[in-house]
Structure 1
Amino acid sequence: MQRYFVDNKKDNHFFISGEDRHHIVNVMRLKEGDQIICAASGKSAVCLIAEITDEQVKAEVVKWEEATAELPVRVAIASGLPKGDKLEWIIQKGTELGASVFIPFAASRSIVKWDDKKASKKVERWNKIAKEAAEQSHRQISPEVISPISLKSLIEMSKDYDYKLIAFEEDAKVGESSILHSTLNRIEAGQSILFVFGPEGGLTEGEVTRLKESGFLSCGLGPRILRTETAPLYALSAVSYKLELMR
């Protein structure tokens, strides 16, 4: 059953317009009487298409879903701006694995330079990728992708998180794994964790020092050195395994 994130809800009805209306009518070719799933404010419901007009689709709630596909903790992924479409890959696959927010930041070794003139379209595309991945993976929320920020702003933002970890390849080289393991043992449902990953060249010693001085802990992600687009997926998988499959 097709899932849509809907902002417009009144009483027992959802009102779907724009690209989602087009998808329902012209791509899926659904009719009045067909069922879809509408998600809003962290909840989702099976709905009956009650009316289709040129402007919108009106869907009536049949039953609210009790099960959730969300991780028991809020996970933020902060990525040093990588080359090409790697960030899009991180957003798509990270959404499927349960991330709550994506925070791109300008790292010292980021080759890509952020163009403010193209900012709005780029961030809009990233959020669309997250929304489509969230619908595909049957999530109740669509993760937010924010506009790239500085390391200073990232440190300021980190104050809102219960746990803060840096994935640092130098720790992986010496076989450090206890920090990630102990953090996932301590974190409780409803809490939050922020992971920071460097770009292709990794984080500099200076960046790691600044983050540590702001309460971050440095950890390795197993004995192998992971690419910038692989490391966030490893971390999210570890969170899911420990907090969902092992409990």
Structure 2
Amino acid sequence: MSTLFLNPELEPAAAVVGARVGVRGDEARHAVTVNRIRPGETVSIGDGEGLVVTGAVVSAAPDELVIEVAEVRTEPWPSPELWLVQALAKGDRDELAVQAATELGVTGVVPWAADRSVSRWEGAKVAKGEARWRTITREASKQSLRGWLPQVAPLARTSDLVRLAGETRMLLLDPTAHTALTAIDPAGAARVHLVVGPEGGFAPAELERLSGAGAERVHLGAGILRTSTAGPAALAVLNARLGRW
């Protein structure tokens, strides 16, 4: 299986069979010194916006990795978009959710400061947390050979989600809901937001406000999943529902 590296400056005009393209800087250094990529191996290079080229490595140095393009593919922007609104959680549970969601094709992730979130991003922690999630989505995208890097939205408060519920289709993953996620057809929406609560679940006031704004409560079976598991599980259901799998 080939390995993906990212070059945001990759130009479509250069992405043709027979051309030589590469990566430099930290990306090249990581490829050569960590992944130990050598000439002759097959790797992919993408721009993070749908364009991916694949070919054999012709030179591998810590300052630049170059391939000769043998295949070009362009991934269309996903429709509908599937977004994960992930409540901040203690430990690395929210990060695990973001990593798995990226591997499963999420379009974007929204960090949410829920009422019952034990973890809190305040002050300098906000920028640090958002940067950490961008790193996670970047590395998970490379591992899963994704053409598009998921977007990481700014930290959201419940008031932000209330406003968002009036603009897109929002599904609250609530174990007490009467409607199963498998009964939902997401195909007619331009964007779907899956909202996952923290370890303690949604606060009653949050459910009331979000439901009142138009969000739909859905469940994932009779059990209760961890906050790190619920979002990826729901994405898998919708991917199958949309025929992407």
TM range (shorter): 0.7 to 0.9
- Alpha-carbon separation, structure 1, partners of 2:22 and 2:123: 34
Of 48, 53, 56, the residue aligned with 1:45 is: 53
Q: Tell me if the contact between 1:73 and 1:192 (Cα under 8 Å) persists in the aligned partners.
A: yes
SS at match of 2:176: helix
| Distance of aligned partners of 1:112 and 1:23 in 2 relative to their CA distance in 1, 3 Å threshold | same
Q: Which whole-Å deviations, capped at 9, do the CAs of 1:158-188 have from their partners, x for residues lacking one?
A: 4553x211112222xxxx234x33422x524
What's the offset of the Cα at 1:119? 3.0
Structure 1 equivalent of residue 237 of structure 2: 238
Query: Shift of residue 87 of structure 1?
Result: 0.9
Query: Higher mean Cα deviation, 234-243 or 46-55?
Result: 46-55
Aligned length: 237
Give the drift of 1:28: 3.0
SS at match of 2:184: helix
Q: In the TM superposition, what is the alpha-carbon distance from 1:70 to its structure 2 partner?
A: 8.3
Identity of paired residues, percent? 26
- In structure 2, what is the Cα distance between the partners aligned to 1:216 and 1:96? 26
Aligned-residue offset at 1:75: 0.8
CA distance in 1, matches of 2:182, 2:219: 10
1:125: how far off? Answer: 2.2
The equivalent residue for 1:100 is 107
How far apart are 1:229 and its partner, in Å?
1.5
Cα distance in 1 for partners of 2:243, 2:165 equals: 24
Q: Residue 39 of structure 1 contacts residue 45 of structure 1 at CA under 8 Å; is this kept in 2? A: yes
Residue matched to 1:170 = 176
Q: Which residue of 2 aligns with 1:78?
A: 85
Report how far residue 146 of structure 1 moved.
2.9
Q: Secondary structure at the match of 2:236?
A: helix
Residues 74-223 of structure 1: pairs in structure 2 closer than 5 A = 74-161=81-168, 163-171=169-177, 176-178=178-180, 180-184=181-185, 187-188=187-188, 191-223=190-222
- Unaligned regions of 5+ residues in structure 1, if any? none
CA apart distance, 1:51: 5.3
The answer for unaligned runs of 5 or more in structure 2 is: 15-19
Q: CA offsets per residue over residues 107-151 of structure 1, 9 Å max, x none?
A: 111111213213333322221211121121221112122342211
1:244 is paired with a residue whose SS is coil
Deviation at 1:19, TM superposition (A): 2.5
- Give the letter for the 1:93 counterpart: A
RMSD: 2.6
- CA 232–83 in structure 1, closer or farther in 2 if over 3 Å, else same: same
**Which AA in structure 1 matches 2:176?**
E
How many Å apart are 1:233 and its aligned residue?
A: 1.8
Determine if contact 1:77/1:99 at 8 Å carries over to the other structure: yes
State the TM-score, normalized to the length of structure 1: 0.83
Partner of 2:10: 9
In proportion to residue count, which structure has more helix?
Answer: 1
Partner SS for 1:9: coil
